[in-house]
Amino acid sequence: MAYFDSASSAPLHPVARQALVASLDEGWADPARLYREGRRARLLLDAAREAAAEAVGCRADELVFTSSGTRAVHSGIAGVLAGRRRVGRHLIVSAVEHSSVLHAAQVHEADGGTVTQVAVGRTGSVSASSYAEALREDTALACLQSANHEVGTEQPVAEVAGVCRAAGVPLLVDAAQSLGWGRVNGDWSVLTASAHKWGGPSGVGLLAVRKGVRFAAQGPADERESGRAAGFENIPAIVAAAASLRAVRAEADAEAVRLRELTERIRARVPSLVPDVEVVGDPERRLPGVVTFSCLYVDGETLLHELDREGFSVSSGSSCTSSTLTPSHVLRAMGVLSEGNVRVSLPPGAPAEDVERFLSVLPGAVAAVREKLGAPAPATVVREDVLVVDALGKRCPIPVIELAKVIGDVPVGGTVRVLSDDEAARLDIPAWCEMRNQEYVGEEPAERGAAYVVRRLS
């Protein structure tokens, strides 16, 4: 089985396993106690903190360990917002942040705060000027991920941090996806990360808060981890997390070159192997091991099952794999095709032969899914020179399949109105038009759902 989903969780690094087992015998006692076992546990915890701080690029007394990366994000956002409440209650986030950031923003807004979402371009990247425009006198905090978890696009953190610093606003960086590859550049104020993303054990997060940032920890007081992360420290897991972070950093430069070559191979060859595919994300500023593409006329969940049967573990942002039947907020914000979405995220050490085998089985897997979804034919009625496709009640990717089948039935200059109540159609039909060189006229109200109007250009 080839595991190609390291952006969700990387396999446990051998160094993490060794450190975890070794520290189980030494790090079980309370590090706050003064007897021998407690002192031994404290030494392990302090050494892990020093190692993690060096990797992050901060002081050891600026970094605490949390129970997860999500907990680090929630504590970091809540703590800065509370600490800077006198400044105001305005929060800035990008539209493609991890759900942990967006959920924290929703809670803040429900509590009476205000939130500005900064839009991204088609590659998934923000601009520093967009953050500059979003800043206000009452802005308490801005948040920006270092690299996107779904498409791999790296964000201009240093530039955004400079803009925020000039305005006196702290920037929180979610570095979960990138910290294993190197330090986050720029004058950031708060940083969060998660050990299982770089091959450490799950259940360990990092929260770094620079000196000088006003921070008020929320929740009941706790004396551990500077009062910023309540609860007894999981010292063996923390030691393993720090040890594996140091290990992957030592391997990062060489492994990044190798994985970039493999992902570039996927980016270049998938469009030639599979028709009607859109490769998404920034082609240059991207994480070494992540490549994402979307296939027209494909049910994402079915495609993932086909690939699983062929021995590949991949993930998807397609609405077809979601219980809400809505496309990924990242793909939606980028305005790219969402149906048949596949994210390949190669773990360090991924063999080149596994990538070649993936490329050999992908065309057949996509073709099999498309064949299954080829019927039934859409119900159509002609109204003057307009063809109406009734796709109501049909889910991704059926509305686009039915549009593709009938576009040739109208003359050049004629239009097709696709009736659909599937949220994914709002994203996928315009993306289809761009890929197929047809004109997307726009969305019109309908008795149910919406009518998406397409004009045939060729």
The residues assigned a catalytic role are: 320
Distance of CA 80 to the CA centre of its chain: 23
Question: Residue 352: which H helix or E strand, with range?
Answer: helix 352-372
CB 225 within 8 A of CB 79: no
For residues 150 and 344, what is the distance between their CA atoms, to the nearest angstrom?
A: 9
Give, for 50, the enclosing helix (H) or strand (E): helix 36-56
| Cβ within 8 Å of residue 305, ≥6 positions away | none
Distance of CA 181 to the CA centre of its chain: 16
The answer to whether the beta carbons of residues 227 and 64 sit under 8 Å apart is no
Instruction: Tell me the chain's radius of gyration from C-alpha atoms.
Output: 24
At position 181, the amino acid (one-letter code) is: W
Count of beta carbons in the 10 Å neighbourhood of residue 405: 15
- Write out the DSSP string of 303-315: HHHHHHHTTEE-B
Q: Which two tokens stand for residue 252?
A: 């990062």
How close are the terminal C-alpha atoms of the chain, in Å? 44
The Cβ-side half-sphere exposure at 226, using a 13 Å CA radius, reads: 19
310 CB-contact burial (10 Å; exposed 0-12 / middle 13-18 / buried 19+): middle
